[in-house]
Amino acid sequence: MKLTCENCGKELVLPDSKVPSGKAFSVKCPSCSGKISYKPGDEAAVKGTVEGAEQQAKKPDITLDIKVLEPAVNYFEEYDGTEPLALVCDKENHGDIENILKELGYRMSIAENATVAINKMKFNRYDMIIINENFDDFSLKENPVLLHIQPMPMVERRFVFVVLLGKSFKSMDKMAAFTLSVNLVVNIKDMGNIAGLLKQSIQENERFYKIFREALVAGGKI
């Protein structure tokens, strides 16, 4: 299947084996990081035949990110885009986190390990990412998910609210959050108050970027 990003015009070829049959899905544009959505019957979003897609898939610029897929794994999130999407990288607390995210109106996706988390981020645009500092048995300094997020271009990073959970910092420590390139740090002992911490920090983040985002929209950047 071949999809075209309406934002930048980039063409993305997806192997038919990785496309959810008869279901809506979204994928992140590898060029501008915008969201490309597809719904069954939306033929306007699909261009070319399977044969043409197979030929196009040989081009490096189109298939560069596709090759990270493992044969038996589908990293595309199947959802209609009506709810903000959150990726949770925390095996120990995901049950509590799920209840909190539902309260805040988010749809949750769980990453089983760091490899899955990073591949999910390559193919989906998440509104929130919650990471345990020791996710997948890594230390804070060696956390692959955090290391993947930290160098993200600001044009992409500013639209993702990143939360870091752990024991190495105080909750709401803005300097620690800045140093670690996340939006919010929460100490595990404050998990009972995380809903309030999230609400407060998300509101502050939205106010901070409001003027900047309006300027991007006015300038045709997003």
> pLDDT tens digits, the chain, 222 residues: what are they?
777 888 777 777 776 766 777 777 777 777 777 777 777 766 544 443 333 434 444 433 333 343 344 444 668 887 777 889 999 999 989 889 999 999 999 999 999 999 999 999 988 999 999 999 999 999 999 999 999 999 998 878 888 999 999 999 999 999 999 999 999 999 999 999 999 999 999 998 888 777 776 777 788 766
Q: What type of residue sits at position 84?
A: P
Pairing label, strands 161-166, 184-187: parallel
Burial 23-54 (b: 16+ CB within 10 A, else e): eebbbbbbebbbbbebeeeeeebeebeeeebe
How far apart, in whole angstroms, are the C-alpha atoms of residue 98 and residue 104?
A: 10
- Radius of gyration of the chain, Cα coordinates, nearest whole angstrom: 18
Q: Which fold has domain 85-218?
A: Rossmann fold (3.40.50)
| 0.75 exceeded by pTM | no
Task: Give residue limits of the domains in the chain.
Answer: 2-68, 85-218
